[in-house]
Amino acid sequence: MKKIYQDTLNRYYTIHLFLVAGMNEEANEYVHETECALCNKYYGLLNATGGINCEKCPIYEHTGHKSCRNTPYYKFKTLFTLKACEAEIAFLEKVLT
């Protein structure tokens, strides 16, 4: 598996471990201290029209939506629960493995 895919999954596995242990504050801090490896590579790149360059990201290729729209990410980001984190992990595992 590509390192960038594993780095992305590892980020959510770590968040999951914090949430399972009941360490919600630590999980929240970790989310804000780390970046998604895919976003770090693709989201910040500007395309020729000056927009974001999600089109090369495997998430975009799977969903056809920029900024991880139509994925469990937004529910996780909003709810920040173990169940929402598990849904995000399952989605990422499906797309990235």
Q: Which of 20, 58, 21 is nearest to 36 (CA)?
A: 58
DSSP letters, 42-66, are: IIT-B-TTSSB-GGGSHHHHHHS-G
Beta bridge partners of 46: 52
Domain that holds residue 23: 3-96
pTM greater than 0.95:
no
Q: How many domains does the chain divide into? A: 1
pLDDT at 2: 92
Mean pLDDT of the chain: 90
pLDDT at 55: 81
Cα separation, 60 vs 16, in Å, equals: 23
